[in-house]
Every structure is written in C-alpha cells, then in structure tokens.
Structure 1
Amino acid sequence: MAARPKGTPVMTLPIEAVQALTALLGDRLSTSQADRDHHAGTEAHHAPAPPDAVVWPLSNQEVAETVRICRAHGLPVIGHGAGTSLEGNTCATRGGVCVDLSRMNAILAVRPDDLDCTVQAGVTREELNTFLRDTGLFFPIDPGANASLGGMAATRASGTNAVRYGTMRENTLSLTVVTPDGEIVKTARRARKSSAGYDLTNLFVGSEGTLGLITEVTLKLYGRPEAVRAAVCTFPDPASASRTAIEAIQIGLPIARVEYLDAGCIRAVNEYSALQEAEADTLFVEFHGSEAGVEEQVALFGEIAEGHGGSNFRWADREEDRNRLWKARHNGYPATVNQRAGARGWATDVCVPLSALPDCISHAKEILAGCPVPASIMGHVGDGNFHVVFAIDPNNSEELEMVAKVNSAMVAKALEHDGTCTGEHGVGIGKRKYMQAEHGPALALMRAIKTALDPASLMNPDKILPPMEDAAQ
C-alpha cells in the first residue's frame, strides 16, 4: 500500500500555520524527519505515512487551539497515543499535523468512594495502576501493550481481562473531547447511568480520532481481589480448548481471564523465551475473588476442562509465579515474528458469538495449514475474540497477497457467523474494506455522523469509512 492514497496531494505546511503553531507551542512543534518518521503510524505491516509536523500539547486549551489553526489552513489532524496502531490507525495518509498527547499525562482525580478516576489522555494503564497501588483499587483493562488510556478509549480496546470486566466501552464514564471545530466538550457526567440525551461518550469511544481528539478520560475502577489464582492446561485440539472456555462462561463461572494459544504459538514462545511449555493447544486462565470463591471456581473449571480432554494442569497463587505462567501469552506476538529474520508482524483479529468460536478457530487452522509464513493463533476466547499473527516479508508482494487472502477468508467466516471483522484492533486503514459487508446500510449513518461533525474530513482522514467507490461495490 502506498503511504498516501493514489491521487492524494502531499500536504505541505503553510508558513502561516507554522508561525501560528510555533507561537502557541514553541519547541513543542517539530518538522524534523526523525520525529515525523516516529509518528508514521504503525508497528505492523502497513506502509508508514508520516505527518508533516508533530506537536506536543500540554492542555485541553492547547489541543483546541491547535485544531483551530489546522482547520483554518485545511490541515489534517491525527491524534497519537502510544502508537501501536496495528491497523494503521494513526498513519498520516494525507500528511498534516500529528497531535501527540503523551505529555498530557496527569492523573487529575481519583475518587475511591465513587470507584472512578479522571486522567489526561496520555496516562498509560501501567502508570495509572502504579498510582492506584496504595488505594486498594485497580483499572483492569489490559490490551497487552502499555497503551495510553486516551488511545485505548479511541480504539475501544479490551484485552485479557475483558471477559470479566468488559472493554473500554463498559468502563468509560465520560470523555473530554476537542471537536473538529476546536471546541472543548464533556460527553457526560460521572453518574453510572443516565437517560439524558444521546450517548456521546460511546459515540467517541472507538471513533479512532475521526470525530475529535480525546483529551481526558473518566474511568471505572475496581477493588483489588482478595485472592488471584492462575493456571495453564493443554488440550488435544483447538475445539476442545474453546469448548472448555465456552462451557465455563455459559454456566456463569466468573473467570477473570481465559486465553488460548495454539501449539505453533507455544512452540515459538518456547524458543523465544527459553521456556519448556508442552507444545499443544493451551488455555491460560485466571480467577479473582475471595479465597473460598477462587477455590470453588478452580475446582469447577478443572472438572470442565477434564471433560474436554484437558491435562497438564499447573496452578499458581503468588504474583511472581502467575507472571511466569502468563509469560508465554504475553510474548506470543514477538515470539511469532521472531521466528523469521527481518520479518514484520501482520496481526489480525476477528470476534464471533461464543457458540461459533470452535468452528471459526478450526477454519483458521485449516486455511493456515497451507500458509508458507510462520503464523500463530492466540485469543481472548472468553469473549469470542481471537488473533492470528503472521511473520511476513513486507517486500514480498506475492506473500502479502496470499496473507491478505487468508485474512479475508477469516473475516468472511466471522461475518458468516454474525461476528465482526475486528474485536479490538480497530478499523484504521487495514479493515476498511470489510465495513460495507459488516454494516450494510448502517454505514451510511456512520458517514452522516462523520460529515455532520467533520465536514472537511480533517480528523484522521481515510480511517474507518471506506472510499465511496469501494462501498458501492
């Protein structure tokens, strides 16, 4: 893919815009090639697309004034957090100004009595949980990477704990957003429920910066559990592992995490991390609760797993032992990519109703059998979400085309089961082509919202919504 869409002019910054941004931000404006390349928008296989400038605001007012300057000069505005961007979510496809929110990293308020907090967008989840350590509270959403909370809201992130605690959608109470007009708005109050008007918070959660820039996030917090126990167990095949997870969820077992790694991923992790895990389809599980409650949950899960051929159980209570057990899951992505010298990662994900999970994972295994590049399956199987990671040569066009076909076949299977083309990576530029098939006429409503809020299409252009000619096909 070209860094900028065909026929799109390369944006250059008008001198008047540079002068205005410099007057506002001083040396927190950069047009250096190094800074632009660092914000080119992806850790994965998508071609980088650097902005024409990068700015680092420190306040809502600076973000708002930056947006107003860009709007006055017709410059695209691309928000930037930690920058994982697996689907090219922050590629500057039309140039413009990248607004890096990482220096807006203040924890503004923690309210233990209300079990909530308000943070600036650049605060990362690890920073928040470190700050909360002495309060007895924690924020549970864990997408794997140490992502910024603004970025997590913008992409509707989830991760390993979502099966019990939900996603960013369920855990975001309110947002402060800078609109395309440069206005600062608050989407909601802190009440846990409201029927007062449109749900603006969830309009912006998952919008990937296409409707405005999230600058502050108000989040739900949770009490740290009295007891935590983690385990791993192996299974004879993917279907047995996924059916175990499904049955545990269906009977109401309050699992905090249930993660799946296929045998190939375990093999890659063993080599990458010098582990000696059994090279078989594996579930990693974790339970939170009281001592008695966790004991009961563990025993019941063990019975379910054994009924589906589960074996090689290992349990861990101490934090360092739990971390050791989870090391394989957390290293699945780099371990897969590391199997091939000079490779880049191509990570994709789909999400389906729980009952469809065994069929979809088995289908993925079948089509991956003919794949000539290293590939692994891993997933948050408690909520029907699984990933495939490929180790690709980004300069091999035939290889890229073949992996793209595998990706499309996975998405088609997910949609066939009333699933979605992405459970948590977001749409970006990578999944736009599936939006018409997934949403049908509802895509026109999304376009209407985008046009109403951002008629000049300056906010993170070319993301989420496919070009009209693609949607018409």
Structure 2
Amino acid sequence: MSISDVRIAPLTNEPSVNNNQKDNSDTCNHDAAIKALQAQFGGKLSTNLTVREQHGHTMTWLTNQPPDAVLTAQNKHDVAQAVAICNQYKMPVIAFGVGSSLEGQLNAPYGGLCIDMHELDAIVQVNNEDLTVTVQPGVTREQLNHYLRDTGLFFPIDPGANASIGGMVATRASGTNAVRYGTMKDVVLALEVVTASGDIIRTGTRAKKSAAGYDLTRLMIGSEGTLGIVTEVTLKLFGINECIGSGLCHFPTIEDACQAVMLTIQMCLPIARIELLDALQVKACNQYANLDLVETPTLFVEFHGTEAGVCEQAQTFTDIIEEFGGTDFVWDTNEAERKRLWQARHNAYHASSALRPEAKALSTDACVPISRLAECVSATAKDIEDAGMIGPIVGHVGDGNFHVLLLVDTDNPEEVAKAEDIIGRLAIRAIEMDGTCTGEHGIGQGKQKYMQQEHGNALGMMQAIKSALDPNNILNPGKIWP
C-alpha cells in the first residue's frame, strides 16, 4: 500500500469491535457487578458522574467515555479482588494512573470499572549496590527522582509529563533520554501483575538478565492494560553523572538539523539527549516561556560524563553541526540554566496549544530508522504546510522519534479532514520506511487502523495471546485491536 492509496477512517467516538473481540456491553451484568463491588469496597467505590468523567478523559479529541464506577485502590489486594469480581460478571476493567496518555487508552467504551492506582505510591525498596528500585505503580517519575536525590542515583526515562510508573510501563514510554538510556522496556527488570482472573503473579527478579522461560515482563510492557494490571515494578537505576552539559544550536532547515542528528548517532557520540524543535515550536516556546531563541529549526542537546568527557563530546558535536550549517552553538554546565532550557522543552505541548487557544490539540507521533529521519520529518512538514494547518514539530530525534501537534477546530469538517489526512499519511509513511506508526504514544483507540499494515500476520498471534490471558475480554477492551 502506498501513501497515495491509503484511505483514512474517520476519527469516531464509537468503539470498534471485530469478530475477535467480544462486546462486553452485551454479555455482562454491570448492575450486579457494581453491587458486588459496593459490598466489597464500600466508600472506596464511587459512581458519581463527575468522578467517572474525570477518569474517562483522554488528552486527545476523542469524546469522554466514562466508566460505570471508579475504585480507589489502596493495595494490590484491592486490585486483585476487584478484577476477580469483574471477571465473574464479565465487566470491563481499566487501570488509571495520572491520566496523561494520548491515544484514548483510559476511555471506557463499554463502561465498566476504572481502578485508580494513585494511592499505590510507595517506594518499596532501593538497592543502591545493585542500582535497582522497586516501586508501586502510582509513583510518578518526578516523585521517584526526588526520593533518589541523595543516593547518587536517578531514573532516566523522561516522557515529559509527570507520568506514573505504572502508566509508563503500560504504554512502553520513553522520552528525551531514550537515545542514551533506552525506553521502559530497557529499564524494567520485573513486574508484579494482577491477571484477568484476579491472580497475582511476578514476571521476573532483580537479576540483570535471565534465560528462564518466556519473557513475560516484556510481554506486559506496552500492553496498555489489556493483559494485566501492574501492581509493582522493579527498575534499573543509573548513577548521576559527574558533569552534565546542555546547549542548543540553530539550522537553516529541518533537513539540515536531521542530517546533523544522523551523523551524530552514526559517529557513536554518547549524547544523552538530542531534541529537535521546528521554527514554529521555537516561536511557541518563546511566547510561552518568555525566551528569546532564534525562531529557526533548533536542536537541544545534553552531554553526560566526566568534565573532560563532556568537553570532548561538545567539541565533536560542534564539528558535526558545522557540516550542516549549524550555528550559534552554546552550551553550559550550569544546573539552573540547564533546567530552564529543558523546562521550555517539556512545556512544548502547552506552548503549542497556546498558539491557538480556541482549537483542540491533537498530538501524534511516529518513529523511523535514523537514516530515514530527515526524509520523514521534511515530508511531514510539507504535508502540514500544504494543508495550511498549524502543527509544530518536536522530537526525540536521536532515536528517530518525533511528534506533531496539530491545532484543529473540531467544529470545522474541512480542518478535521485535513488533520486526519496528515496523521494518516505520517503513519503510513513511517511504516513504509520500516518504522512504526507510534514510537511512544501507543495505540489505544486512536491508531488501531494501522496495526494490520504494521504487523501483518503477527497481529493474529497478538490476538491469540490476548484471548488466552483474558478469555472474557475484561481488561481494557476496545484498545489496540482494529
């Protein structure tokens, strides 16, 4: 299938069900399930509409689809008992962290029970010698690093939002540090998981590797709550570097910036962060954060290591960018300046949204091999320009991942159609470049239509795993599968 041939299905508020997916609304008794849950949990369970809508929201333009009830779990046994009851009555269960997912993963298209995990926020054990930590799923990444601040260790996965660790496991999150430290699949050692039957299992140990049996840990990571609900996570930690240097540089075009990134990676420069902001995104950051950056394609970079090592990395990077017209490269090891710089990057979503406050923001992402990055980003930028849309581009380009934030008047059918076309063309283009339709946002409800093209016959195996582990299809139904 070529880009010109693809037909983009309209974004819809109705759940999509195929023959491999049961429609739970026809097979379960929600009223009886809720009565059983009320008897078990009392005041921990809420059926208040406002609370339900707060837990049925999504950071996309998909319509809010609230659950029938919300349980505030206080321990893993609450989770296990609730799932067992729901399984008995064939009622859907959706786990909720802090609500920062972007593709409708938290919506309840068939109603059901939302289990709010925010009170499971204990840091269970830090093992300094082994560089590991075990946490409950409601712990957020900022909370964890604040707790670790005096240990000399840190947790590197940084998706921007202050996401919960459980949610980051569910969506296989990554972020600005991924080029050096990897994604969640690289730093999770073991999980404790509640299965669809309400059993509690462990998927690994604190050992750094294992050759014993199937890798159930990696199976759960990125499953978006469709195979189990995480109640404990054991993570790798890393030592805080002696020296950290951050800086930025400007380029004439997006393609020049991407070519500089590609050469940086190919030369094996151990760069920790390398982020691309297009001219419009820089303008948005200037306005939002009162900065005075040159409004042209810009790379934000960060180097980790010894003082001598950071200086050497910065000099090598200077030599690289000069080949592609990079200018005004300045870097500093000052912590306050570094935090100011990266805070502007992390506020990119809010900064972009402020460019057109009356519109809704639709954030989408894709990831391609680094050798195809310049081509993919440039073609996407041209699509946005040709459509006359506002869509800043920002990305963790060191691993070929970038994001587009389209600002859309959802009451204007012409704008909606243009946005759908841009998203569809990007997804198909990335897949045809041997990439993926999503590097870190996940599938949820929003990108189901691309799963068949990306995975082919392997999709049937995924669905077989789902059916085997969740025969009643209660775990976050209506997600991932087209």
TM-score (norm 2): 0.94
For these two proteins, the number of residue pairs brought into alignment is: 466
Question: Which residue number corresponds to residue 183 of structure 1?
Answer: 199
Question: Which residue number corresponds to residue 205 of structure 1?
Answer: 221
Percent of matched pairs sharing the same residue: 50
Question: Which residue number corresponds to residue 469 of structure 1?
Answer: none
Aligned residue identity for 1:409: R
For residues 293-322 of structure 1, give each alpha carbon's deviation from its aligned partner in whole angstroms, at most 9, with x where no partner exists.
111101111111111110011212111101
CA contact (8 A) 1:25 1:57 kept: no
Q: 1:121 to 1:49 in 2, by over 3 A?
A: same
Matches within 5 A, 1:41-60: 41-60=57-76
Matched, 1:421 2:437: yes
Distance 1:2 1:13 in 2: 26
Distance 2:159 2:381 in 1: 24
Matches within 5 A, 1:29-178: 29-178=45-194
RMSD: 1.5
Aligned residue identity for 1:136: G
Question: Which residue number corresponds to residue 15 of structure 2?
Answer: 5
* TM-superposed deviation, 1:6: 7.2
* Aligned match for 1:255, one of 271, 275, 300: 271
Q: Secondary structure at the match of 1:113?
A: coil
CA contact (8 A) 1:260 1:284 kept: yes
Aligned residue identity for 1:291: E
Distance 1:452 1:10 in 2: 21
Question: Which residue number corresponds to residue 239 of structure 1?
Answer: 255
* TM-superposed deviation, 1:285: 0.2
* TM-superposed deviation, 1:328: 3.0
Distance 1:394 1:132 in 2: 43
For residues 380-424 of structure 1, give each alpha carbon's deviation from its aligned partner in whole angstroms, at most 9, with x where no partner exists.
000000000011123333322210111111111111110000000
Question: Which residue number corresponds to residue 374 of structure 1?
Answer: 390
* Aligned match for 1:20, one of 36, 40, 45: 36
* Aligned match for 1:353, one of 346, 357, 369: 369
Higher mean C-alpha deviation, range 325-334 or range 109-118 = 325-334
Question: Which residue number corresponds to residue 296 of structure 1?
Answer: 312
Question: Which residue number corresponds to residue 359 of structure 2?
Answer: 343
* Aligned match for 1:286, one of 302, 308, 320: 302
Aligned residue identity for 2:167: G
Distance 1:327 1:185 in 2: 38
* Aligned match for 2:236, one of 220, 223, 226: 220
Distance 2:15 2:414 in 1: 21
Distance 1:293 1:352 in 2: 29
* Aligned match for 1:315, one of 331, 351, 359: 331
* TM-superposed deviation, 1:206: 0.2
Q: Secondary structure at the match of 2:249?
A: strand
Distance 1:326 1:6 in 2: 39
Question: Which residue number corresponds to residue 410 of structure 1?
Answer: 426
Structure 1: segments with no counterpart, 5+ residues: 467-473
Matched, 1:444 2:460: yes
CA contact (8 A) 1:105 1:122 kept: yes
For residues 325-347 of structure 1, give each alpha carbon's deviation from its aligned partner in whole angstroms, at most 9, with x where no partner exists.
22332222111111113222100
Distance 2:16 2:346 in 1: 38
Q: 1:263 to 1:14 in 2, by over 3 A?
A: closer
* Aligned match for 1:363, one of 379, 400, 410: 379
Q: Secondary structure at the match of 2:103?
A: coil
* TM-superposed deviation, 1:257: 0.3
For residues 343-396 of structure 1, give each alpha carbon's deviation from its aligned partner in whole angstroms, at most 9, with x where no partner exists.
221000000000000100110111111233321010000000000001112333
Aligned residue identity for 2:186: E
Distance 1:75 1:9 in 2: 7
* Aligned match for 2:480, one of 464, 468, 472: 464
Aligned residue identity for 1:355: S
For residues 225-274 of structure 1, give each alpha carbon's deviation from its aligned partner in whole angstroms, at most 9, with x where no partner exists.
00000000000111111111111111111101000000111112212222
Q: Secondary structure at the match of 1:17?
A: helix
Aligned residue identity for 1:5: P
CA contact (8 A) 1:41 1:92 kept: no
* TM-superposed deviation, 1:15: 4.3
Aligned residue identity for 2:179: V
Distance 2:30 2:351 in 1: 44
Q: 1:377 to 1:2 in 2, by over 3 A?
A: closer
Structure 2: segments with no counterpart, 5+ residues: 1-10, 18-22
Higher mean C-alpha deviation, range 447-456 or range 143-152 = 447-456
Distance 2:214 2:422 in 1: 39
CA contact (8 A) 1:76 1:460 kept: yes
Distance 1:318 1:6 in 2: 51
Higher mean C-alpha deviation, range 42-51 or range 145-154 = 42-51
Question: Which residue number corresponds to residue 208 of structure 2?
Answer: 192
Question: Which residue number corresponds to residue 291 of structure 2?
Answer: 275
CA contact (8 A) 2:30 2:112 kept: no
Aligned residue identity for 1:460: N
Distance 2:432 2:172 in 1: 23
* TM-superposed deviation, 1:14: 4.1
Q: Secondary structure at the match of 1:197?
A: coil
